[in-house]
C-alpha cells in the first residue's frame, strides 16, 4: 500500500490568480520565443529603454532576484559594479606568498636580482622576468613562482583598472556596446509573434532556474497590487493575447574595463585568507553564499522593438472597475506594463456587461527589455552549469 503524505509535511501555498497568470505567460513566452527555462527571466515593467548608454547599462548592471519576474520598480537596487568593487577591495595577495612558494633563499636571491634592474620592470613584466631568471638559477620553483607572480600582477592590474572608475573624477560603470549600437542591431533583427490563451497555457514552472518562484508581480496596471479585486477578476478570467514584435534580439551583457573575470574567479574559487583579507567584509559567504549579495548575474538581455499586442479578457467589469482601468491605463497594463506617451499607447475597450480588450502599441525605434538570461555566479564564471 503506498505511503500517504503526512499532514505535518509542508505544502506549496496556493498561487493567487495573478501569479498563476504570470506563470502561464512566462511558459508561453519561453516556448514560443525559444528561450531557455533554465536561464530566462521576464522583466516588469517593460517601458522603452531610456535613449542613452547609461539607460541601457542600468539594465545590465542590475543584480536579478531569484524570481521568474524581475520587477525593477520594486527591486532592492543591488548593482553588479558596486558589489564587484566591494569584493575587489577585500582581495589581497601578500608578497610573503611568493616566499612561501619558492622558499626563503630563492626569494632573497630573486629580490636582489630584481633590485638591480634599471629601469625597474612594470608589474605586468615581472612574471616573465622571474621565469627567465628562475629557469637559470632556480628551475625547480620556476613554475610555482611564475604562477604566484602572475596572480599578483593580475590583481594589481585589475585594481588599477577599477581605480579609474572609483577614484577622483570617476567614470560610470560601462558595458560593451552602447544605445546607438543597440539601435543599429535591432533594426536588422527578425520579428516574432506570441499567441497566448490562459486556459490552455502551461502553468507548471517548477523545472525553471528559479524553482518556480515568481515574486513581486504587479496587478493589472503598473503599481497595482496583484491582490486587488479588479486584478483577481482579470487574472481569473480567460485571457488571450496576440502579440507581434517588429524585432527581437538577444543583447549579450559584457562589463567594461572596470571588470576583470580573473579577479572575480580568484575571489569565488577560494574562500580562505589569502586571497580574502582576514577581516574581510563582505566575506565570501556574504558575497557568494546562499543569501549573498552576488548570487547571480545577467548574461544577456532579451530586447524587443515595435510591440503591437491585443489582450482580451472575458471577465465582468462594472462601471467603477472600467473607470479605474481606463484611468490607470496610462501607467501601463499587463503583460508589458508599457506607459502611454510619445513612444506608445494603451487603449481599453469594454463590451456590454462582459469582456475587455486592451491594445498596447509602441513605436518602432523604442526598444524595450522583455527579459533577461540569468546565470548563477558559478555558471557566469564558467565553473559549472549551475
pLDDT in tens, 47-102: 999 999 999 999 999 999 999 999 998 877 889 999 999 999 999 988 788 998 99
361 within some domain: yes
Domain edge (last residue) among 172, 205, 222: 172
Neighbours of 258 (CB within 10 A): 23
pLDDT of residue 272: 93
Give whole-number Cα distances, 129 to 109, 142, 160, in Å.
14, 11, 21
Give whole-number Cα distances, 223 to 268, 329, 334, 344, in Å.
37, 11, 11, 18
pLDDT in tens, 259-313: 999 999 999 999 999 899 999 999 999 999 988 999 999 999 999 999 999 999 9
250: closest CA among 173, 189, 337, 307? 189
Query: Do 167 and 109 share a structural domain?
Result: yes
- Is the pLDDT reported for residue 9 higher than 70? no
Taking CA 33 as the corner, what is the angle to CA 28 and CA 38, rounded to the nearest 5 degrees? 75
- Is the pLDDT reported for residue 7 higher than 60? no
pLDDT of residue 13: 57
Mean pLDDT computed over 367-385 = 93
18: closest CA among 241, 214, 243? 214
Query: Do 204 and 324 share a structural domain?
Result: yes
When the pLDDT of each residue in the chain is averaged and rounded to a whole number, the result is: 93
126 within some domain: yes
pLDDT of residue 3: 39
199: closest CA among 285, 313, 307? 313
Give the DSSP per-residue string, 119-137. Answer: SPPPGGGHHHHHHHHHHHH
DSSP 272: S
47 within some domain: yes
Q: How many domains does the chain have?
A: 2
Query: Do 225 and 358 share a structural domain?
Result: yes
Taking CA 28 as the corner, what is the angle to CA 384 and CA 181, rounded to the nearest 5 degrees? 65
260 within some domain: no
261 within some domain: no
Enumerate residues 6+ apart whose C-beta is below 8 A from 343. 47, 48, 362, 363, 366
Query: Do 52 and 103 share a structural domain?
Result: no
- What backbone phi and psi angles, to 5 degrees, belong to 345? -155, 160
DSSP 368: E
In contact, 215 and 67? CB cutoff 8 Å: yes
- Is the pLDDT reported for residue 386 higher than 70? no
* Containing structural domain, residue 156: 90-172
Which grid cell is 316? 465582468
User: Distance between terminal CA atoms of the chain?
Assistant: 38
Query: Do 73 and 21 share a structural domain?
Result: yes
153 within some domain: yes
2 within some domain: no
Q: Across-strand partners of 333?
A: 221
Task: Return the percentage of the chain with pLDDT > 70, whole number.
Answer: 96
Query: Do 98 and 73 share a structural domain?
Result: no
Binned at pLDDT 50, 70 and 90, residue 333 comes out as: very high
Query: Do 188 and 219 share a structural domain?
Result: yes
In contact, 210 and 66? CB cutoff 8 Å: yes
Domain edge (last residue) among 117, 149, 172: 172
Which grid cell is 295? 548570487
Binned at pLDDT 50, 70 and 90, residue 128 comes out as: very high
Domain edge (last residue) among 172, 195, 219: 172
The residue ranges of DSSP E strands in the chain, in sequence order, are 40-44, 69-71, 192-197, 239-252, 296-316, 344-350, 354-362, 368-376
How far is residue 194's CA from residue 26's CA, in Å, rounded to a whole number?
A: 11
Query: Do 340 and 234 share a structural domain?
Result: yes
Which grid cell is 96? 610573503
Query: Do 95 and 48 share a structural domain?
Result: no
DSSP 141: G
Task: Return the percentage of the chain with pLDDT > 90, whole number.
Answer: 86
Query: Do 22 and 161 share a structural domain?
Result: no
29 within some domain: yes
Query: Do 151 and 112 share a structural domain?
Result: yes
Residues 94-129: b if buried by 16+ CB within 10 A, e if exposed? eeebbbebbeeebbebbeeeeeeeeeeeeeeebbeb
Query: Do 244 and 141 share a structural domain?
Result: no
Which grid cell is 378? 558559478
How far is residue 273's CA from residue 183's CA, in Å, rounded to a whole number?
A: 46
Amino acid at each position: 500500500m503506498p505511503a500517504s503524505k503526512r499532514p505535518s509535511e509542508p505544502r506549496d501555498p496556493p498561487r493567487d490568480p495573478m501569479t498563476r497568470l504570470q506563470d502561464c505567460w512566462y511558459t508561453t513566452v519561453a516556448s514560443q520565443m525559444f528561450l531557455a527555462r533554465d536561464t530566462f527571466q521576464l522583466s516588469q515593467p517593460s517601458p522603452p529603454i531610456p535613449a542613452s548608454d547609461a539607460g541601457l547599462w542600468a539594465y545590465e548592471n542590475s543584480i536579478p532576484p531569484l524570481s521568474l519576474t524581475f520587477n525593477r520598480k520594486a527591486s532592492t537596487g543591488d548593482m553588479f559594479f558596486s558589489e564587484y568593487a566591494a569584493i575587489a577591495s577585500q582581495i589581497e595577495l601578500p608578497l610573503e606568498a611568493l616566499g612561501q612558494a619558492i622558499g626563503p633563499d630563492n626569494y632573497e636571491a630573486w629580490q636582489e636580482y630584481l633590485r638591480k634592474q634599471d629601469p625597474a620592470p612594470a608589474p605586468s613584466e615581472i612574471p616573465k622576468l622571474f621565469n627567465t631568471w628562475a629557469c637559470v638559477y632556480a628551475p625547480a620553483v620556476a613554475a610555482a613562482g611564475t604562477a604566484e607572480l602572475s596572480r599578483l600582477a593580475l590583481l594589481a592590474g585589475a585594481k588599477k583598472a577599477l581605480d579609474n572608475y572609483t577614484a577622483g573624477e570617476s567614470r560610470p560603470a560601462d558595458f560593451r556596446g552602447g544605445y546607438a549600437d543597440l539601435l543599429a542591431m535591432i533594426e536588422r533583427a527578425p520579428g516574432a509573434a506570441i499567441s497566448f490563451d490562459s486556459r490552455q497555457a502551461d502553468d507548471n514552472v517548477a523545472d525553471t532556474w528559479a524553482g518556480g518562484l515568481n515574486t513581486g508581480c504587479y496587478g493589472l496596471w503598473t503599481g497595482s497590487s496583484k491582490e486587488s479585486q479588479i486584478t483577481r477578476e482579470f487574472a481569473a478570467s480567460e485571457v488571450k493575447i496576440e502579440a507581434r514584435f517588429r524585432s527581437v534580439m538577444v543583447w549579450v551583457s559584457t562589463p567594461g574595463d572596470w571588470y576583470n573575470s580573473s579577479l572575480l574567479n580568484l575571489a569565488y574559487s577560494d574562500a580562505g585568507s589569502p586571497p580574502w583579507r582576514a577581516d574581510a567584509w563582505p566575506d565570501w559567504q556574504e558575497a557568494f553564499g546562499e543569501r549573498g549579495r552576488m548570487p547571480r548575474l545577467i548574461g544577456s538581455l532579451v530586447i524587443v522593438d515595435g510591440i503591437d499586442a491585443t489582450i482580451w479578457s472575458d471577465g465582468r467589469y462594472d462601471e467603477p472597475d472600467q473607470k479605474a482601468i481606463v484611468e490607470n491605463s496610462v501607467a501601463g497594463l499587463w503583460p508589458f506594463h508599457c506607459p502611454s506617451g510619445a513612444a506608445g499607447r494603451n487603449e481599453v475597450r469594454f463590451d456590454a456587461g462582459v469582456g475587455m480588450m486592451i491594445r498596447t502599441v509602441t513605436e518602432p525605434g523604442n526598444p524595450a527589455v522583455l527579459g533577461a538570461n540569468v546565470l548563477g555566479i558559478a555558471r557566469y564564471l564558467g565553473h559549472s552549469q549551475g
